Amino acid sequence: MREVELLIIGSGPAGLCAAISAASSGASVLILERSFKPGGQLIKQTHMFFGSESQYASYRGVDIADILIEKLGEYGERIELMLNATAVGFYEDNVVTVLKDEKEYFKIKARSVICATGAFEKSLAFPNNDLPGIYGAGAVQTLMNVYGIRPGNRVLMVGAGNIGVIVSYQLMQAGIEVAAVLDAAPRIGAYLVHASKLARMGVPILTSHTVKEAIGKDCLEAAIVCEVDERFDPIPGTEKRFDVDVLCISVGLSPLNELLAMRGVEMKYVPQLSGSVPMRSESCETCIPGIFVAGDASGIEEASSAMAEGYLAGLCAAAKLGHVPENFEQRRSEYLKQLEDLRSGPVGERIRAGMKISQL
Amino acid sequence: MFEKTGVATREMVITKFPPIERINKGPVAVVECYQKIPCNPCQTACPCGAIRIGEDINEIPERDESVCTGCGICVAKCPGLSIMIVDGSKSEKTVEFRIPYEFMPLPEAGEKVVGLDRAGKPVCEATVKRVMNPPSFDRTPVITLEVDRAYLYDFRNFRREA
């Protein structure tokens, strides 16, 4: 059985930054990535990122992926990236089972593990929600921005959070009509600058609205939407029909971290972090020494915080393995300061509350 | 209302504009950022130190119109595309806007386009004066348009004629 010093599961913004950080301290790293390409969600983010210079603000996500992957290269053989490799199990003796290329199945034993597995999309229940033409926003963004495929001609977006409005804007950039953006909440959840970009293109944003049902025989032909009251109950008589061939569902993400639960890490349901998350220290270490978590797997946030958390987890995991750089304290407080800054404003209020509850 | 529609009210918009005397002197940035979010590239990008957010990255940017030269570097740097340059020094009848525009195909200088307001409603005619798309703008082209002064606080976007 192969043995590695530090295993990082996931090569999204958190995993890549964790690898760079740990390798720069001197740790040997193996990264597992289930996709054929590293970068996680970054590879389809064609918009400019928010944040500050430390998190590559105003660079496009897709370019940040390239920058980080190039940086991996600087550490030569100290970082190995294994693609098409899905971690499917995580056992008591720190053995991770891996399915590679959908055919090889083997074990890896790690001295330390950082789980940077990201998130999965939530869905919405309504009649006929299984018709072809009804997608998750992530799928639409992958089709358009990774493969250059139009998902359809006229789209109704469900969800006015950051992903919903950003994907709507990118659909319009691809020349696809966006009929409207709905959200059951009474207020837009996205950063309002993103919402304003759509609004001035003439796309109506309909808050306090939801999908009542999808209509179509072999594929989606129309969607019936209605208004909801303050208890999110449909208001009779407010139905509207949108003739669309794509219904794009963007109603939030949940942390993807079953591997940690399987390993026996103490988990807790934290609504502010959008799901079940591992309890962890300030240094991203779970209740099991040497097992760390970073990025959306520890609670849903922005990619900017995922990168800062990745750097922090990588630094602390390497230190625990005996690779303590001279400037350890300085780097640690720098990453903690970045996270504090990113979470300090009004939009970070939920995250701050969630962090408090999930802290060991 | 803004939080429901994404469309800023006229009162909100006017607070972001410098006095008309300043606009008439020459180009100046209008930073339409109304919400506290963790973001500061405008401050980092400004070569004159005219945009200030300060220590807390969540603060709303403040632009000092006496320092701002209207160079426009911030326009393509703002991830929210919330910044535009207004210039009232060219003519008494019209005002020039420089706005970010990330759609293909790009318009051409001299082209007449439909001026849109913050809700995407057609409000006026606009003439494209210049299209800037250098590598430093990183695929956020900036378009200069000439618009009737009456629409100073209304114009925010444009649409090419079919």
Residue pLDDT tens, chain A, 360 long: 999 999 999 999 999 999 999 999 999 999 999 999 999 999 999 999 999 998 899 999 999 999 999 999 999 899 999 999 999 999 999 999 999 999 999 999 999 999 999 999 999 999 999 999 999 999 999 999 999 999 999 999 999 999 999 999 999 999 999 999 999 999 999 999 999 999 999 999 999 999 999 999 999 999 999 999 999 999 999 999 999 999 999 999 999 999 999 999 999 999 999 999 999 999 999 999 999 999 999 999 999 999 999 999 999 999 999 999 999 999 999 999 999 999 999 989 999 999 999 999
DSSP symbols for B22-85: HHHHS-EEEE---S--SB-HHHHH-TTS-EE--SSTTSPPEE-TTT-----HHHHH-TT--EEE
B114 to chain A: which residues are within 8 Å by CB?
none
CB-CB: which of B37, B44, B118 is closest to A345? B37
Quote the CA–CA distance of B2 and B8 in Å, as a whole number: 5
Residue of B nearest to A196 (CA): B6
CB-CB: which of B3, B8, B58 is closest to A188? B3
Q: Is A215:A128 a contact under the CB 8 Å cutoff?
A: yes
Amino acid occupying residue A34: R
Q: Per-residue confidence at B161, pLDDT binned at 50, 70, 90?
A: confident
The set of residues, in sequence order, having a beta carbon less than 8 Å from that of A139 and lying 6+ positions away, is A151
* Domain ranges within chain B, ordered by starting residue: 2-159
The interface pTM score, or ipTM, of the predicted complex is 0.97
Residue of B nearest to A205 (CA): B5
Amino acid occupying residue B50: A
- A133, A193, A112, A195: which is closest to A160 by C-alpha? A195
> A188, B120: Cβ pair inside 8 Å?
no
Sign, Cα dihedral of A52, B87, B22, B116: negative
pLDDT of residue A321: 98
Length of chain A measured in residues: 360
pLDDT of residue A288: 98
Task: Establish how many alpha carbons lie within 13 A of residue A17's alpha carbon, considering only the half-sphere containing its beta carbon.
Answer: 25
> B80, A203: Cβ pair inside 8 Å?
no
Kind and range of the H or E element at B112? Answer: strand B112-116
Indicate the class that CATH gives domain A123-249: alpha beta
Quote the CA–CA distance of B45 and B137 in Å, as a whole number: 11
User: Strands A177-183 and A154-158: what pairing?
Assistant: parallel
- What are phi and psi for residue A87, nearest 5 degrees? -75, 120
> B57, A187: Cβ pair inside 8 Å?
no
Give long-range contacts, CB 8 A cutoff, 24+ apart: A127-132: A127/A212, A127/A213, A127/A214, A128/A213, A128/A214, A128/A215, A128/A216, A129/A214, A131/A214, A131/A216, A131/A219, A131/A220, A132/A218, A132/A219, A132/A220
pLDDT of residue A190: 97
- A222, A63, A8, A163: which is closest to B135 by C-alpha? A63
Cβ-based interface (< 8 Å): residues of A facing B: 47-53, 57-60, 165, 172-173, 186-188, 191-205, 207, 302, 304, 341-348
**Has residue B162 got a pLDDT over 80?**
no
Please tell me chain B's helix, strand, coil percentages from 3-state DSSP, rounded to the nearest 5.
Answer: 20, 30, 50
CATH 3.50.50.60 residue window(s) in chain A: 2-120+253-358, 123-249
- The 10s digit of each residue's pLDDT in B83-126 is 999 999 999 999 999 999 999 999 999 999 999 999 999 999 99
CB-CB: which of A60, A202, A342 is closest to B38? A342
> A173, B78: Cβ pair inside 8 Å?
no
> A193, B80: Cβ pair inside 8 Å?
yes
The position carrying tokens 């996270």 is A339
Q: Is B87:B26 a contact under the CB 8 Å cutoff?
A: yes
DSSP symbols for A64-98: HHHHHHHHHHTTGGGEEEE-SEEEEEE-TTSEEEE
CB-CB: which of A51, A203, A346 is closest to B120? A203
Record the tokens describing residue A191, joined without a space. 């950063």
Span B125-136, mean pLDDT? 97
The set of residues, in sequence order, having a beta carbon less than 8 Å from that of A280 and lying 6+ positions away, is A286, A287, A292, A293, A298, A358, A359, A360
**Has residue B9 got a pLDDT over 90?**
yes
- A44, A43, A47: which is closest to A57 by C-alpha? A47
pTM of the model: 0.96
Residue of A nearest to B104 (CA): A173
- A2-120+253-358 belongs to which homologous superfamily? FAD/NAD(P)-binding domain (3.50.50.60)
- Which alpha helices (DSSP H) does A190-302 contain, by range? 192-199, 258-263
A348 to chain B: which residues are within 8 Å by CB?
38, 58
